Structure 1
Amino acid sequence: MPNPIAKLIPKRFRKTETVIPVVRLNGVIMAGGSPLRSSINLASVAPLLEKAFSWKDSPAVAISVNSPGGSPVQSRLVFQRIRDLAEEKNKRVVVACEDLAASGGYMIACAGDEIVADPSSVVGSIGVVSGGFGFVDLIAKLGIERRVHTAGQNKATLDPFRPERPEDVEHLKSLQLDVHWTFIDLVRSRRADRLADHPDLFSGLFWSGTRGLELGLVDRLGDLRTVLRETYGPKVKLAVVQQKRGIFGIGRGGGAAASLANAAVDAAVTAAEERALWARYGL
């Protein structure tokens, strides 16, 4: 935070540097999450965003995004919170894409008034995907009988232990189309006439930062510090906004030992799924 005592010093004696708060959003986008694994959701980033946008003397807020995506709901919630705060506080938002700003990560990046990417960043992947496994043959070989009882004929839709039904797949695809169009409308509303007319733009494909610039997915190539110095002068200072942590690196609160144990279990369970998301983009 800016030093409150500095306000008591006459302007002619104050330092002329411009401080820009930076919020780093790194990890898979998912509700909940674990303190031992980096993840993005509204609950975890809202305090950081509120803090960053509260810096009265800063003309902008910078956000670095490094995410393969995840929950479309959490992605949109974070996007909307950034835009709401930007309008409320009258701040410009500069987003920098690091290794990856894909799928929900790119949705969040669209909250920026300007999107910056490294030439080798991966951006885009404007689409929706659902994944799972089928264990029908496996449980038959093991001599296991699956028993499911429901109230409602579609309550066990897409049960991985039963043969896939065409009507279930059709329903899932319909839901995916709804989410996909919400994503497309958001990108169009933010990028407007900057987007290139390309048949695969909303197909789920992803591109390098260089190609993303050509397609209008990003506004310029470079790094956050250089771009901010070019915009606000050579005396720009970047200040990373961080959350206060407990002695074990976990958010403040009681039961640190129990929280640490539970976090370790959660981290182990979700690690494989998160690794698969990053691997989709070759990372």
Structure 2
Amino acid sequence: MRLPIPFAPRPPLVSVIRLQGAIGMGARGMNDAAMAAPIERAFRKGKPAAVALQINSPGGSPTQSALIAARIRRLSEEKGVPVFAFVEDVAASGGYWLATAADEIIVDANSITGSIGVISASFGLTEFIQKHGIERRVHTAGESKSFMDPFRPEKPEDVARLKALQKVIHGNFIDQVKSRRGPRLAEGADLFTGDIWVGPQAVEVGLADAVGHLVPTMKARFGDKTRFIVHGPRRSLLRRLGAEAVTGAVGAAEERAMWARFGL
């Protein structure tokens, strides 16, 4: 029987936070409220030598992306704990926003990163409802309350207003990337068009730092005896029993569409 030696130093600990799925997509999506507790535990429990983010996300809500990333940065600075992001299949759009919360970004040779842009998608159903004899009735107080109504003809002034709003959010995204990646970004590269890069390409343009994987990279940095603890959100009883299957059907379809944009 081996007895523990009092006051013997323990091997370094790396706390792993899994950031998986679309961001802010209703009950199914990743959001700041759901991730707050596991992120806090990752930084506070066991005096970690580092926090590793396992990211696999096609993006989603810019606000929730910003809130999660800001929480990670706040705790990293408060605790003096470095953060490493490891991209799996994809860290695009809001998923890449999350990756910028790390001090270093490591990708797989096949990882998709980037998509630094803003998108808004909808449908125009005006002719459909007319064909089926459906009358659209809208009453508002405030001329902009029916902004971009998919059941009414598209208005040029609505499109112009939407693009103006997107420009502000896009500017915030660009500021985030520049503030976190700074001089590592390749000079002259147009990185903010919404384009994507694969594996080593992302390293070449400065959106990532290296190609590698979580366990070997962390062991190379902190030693072969490095320990790992994974932190993630706890699922509710209803979710464990599948009771959210019906209410989450629309969100699931939207999330599948987001993954499909990257061939996944």
TM-score, structure 2 normalization? 0.94
Structure 1 match to 2:190: 200
Q: Which amino acid aligns with 1:120?
A: N
Query: Aligned to 1:28, what secondary structure does the other structure show?
Result: coil
With over 3 angstroms needed to count, the CA separation of the structure-2 counterparts of 1:247 and 1:161, relative to structure 1, is closer
Question: Contact 1:42–1:78 (CA<8 Å) still a contact in 2?
Answer: yes
1:246-257 equivalent positions in 2, closer than 5 A: 250=240
Displacement of 1:32 in angstroms is 3.9
Q: What CA deviation, in whole Å up to 9, does each residue of 1:77-107 have, x standing for no partner?
A: 0000000010111110011011010000000
Q: How many equivalent pairs are there?
A: 262
Q: Which amino acid aligns with 2:247?
A: D
Give the one of 4, 11, 27 matched to 2:7.
Answer: 11
Structure 2 match to 1:215: 205
Percent of residue pairs identical: 49
Give the one of 114, 118, 132 matched to 1:128.
Answer: 118
Structure 2 match to 1:275: 256
Structure 1 match to 2:158: 168
Q: Which runs of 4+ in 1 moved over 6 A?
A: none
Question: Contact 1:31–1:74 (CA<8 Å) still a contact in 2?
Answer: no
Displacement of 1:197 in angstroms is 2.3
Question: Contact 1:198–1:215 (CA<8 Å) still a contact in 2?
Answer: no
Question: Contact 1:24–1:64 (CA<8 Å) still a contact in 2?
Answer: yes
Q: What CA deviation, in whole Å up to 9, does each residue of 1:145-187 have, x standing for no partner?
A: 1111111111101111111000000000000000000000000
Give the one of 7, 22, 25 matched to 1:28.
Answer: 22
Q: What CA deviation, in whole Å up to 9, does each residue of 1:220-266 have, x standing for no partner?
A: 1000111101111111122112444566654xxxxxx7xx53x1222
With over 3 angstroms needed to count, the CA separation of the structure-2 counterparts of 1:167 and 1:51, relative to structure 1, is same
Q: Which amino acid aligns with 1:17?
A: P
Question: Contact 1:79–1:110 (CA<8 Å) still a contact in 2?
Answer: yes
Structure 1 match to 2:71: 81
Query: Aligned to 1:203, what secondary structure does the other structure show?
Result: coil
Give the one of 80, 89, 92 matched to 1:102.
Answer: 92
Query: Aligned to 1:264, what secondary structure does the other structure show?
Result: coil
Question: RCO greater where, 1 or 2, for CA within 8 Å and sep 6 or more?
Answer: 2
Equivalent-residue separation in structure 1 for 2:40 and 2:161 (angstroms): 39
Question: Contact 1:124–1:204 (CA<8 Å) still a contact in 2?
Answer: yes
Show structure 1 runs of 5+ residues with no match: 1-5, 251-256
Between 234-243 and 168-177, the greater mean CA deviation after superposition:
234-243
Equivalent-residue separation in structure 2 for 1:241 and 1:188 (angstroms): 29
Show structure 2 runs of 5+ residues with no match: none
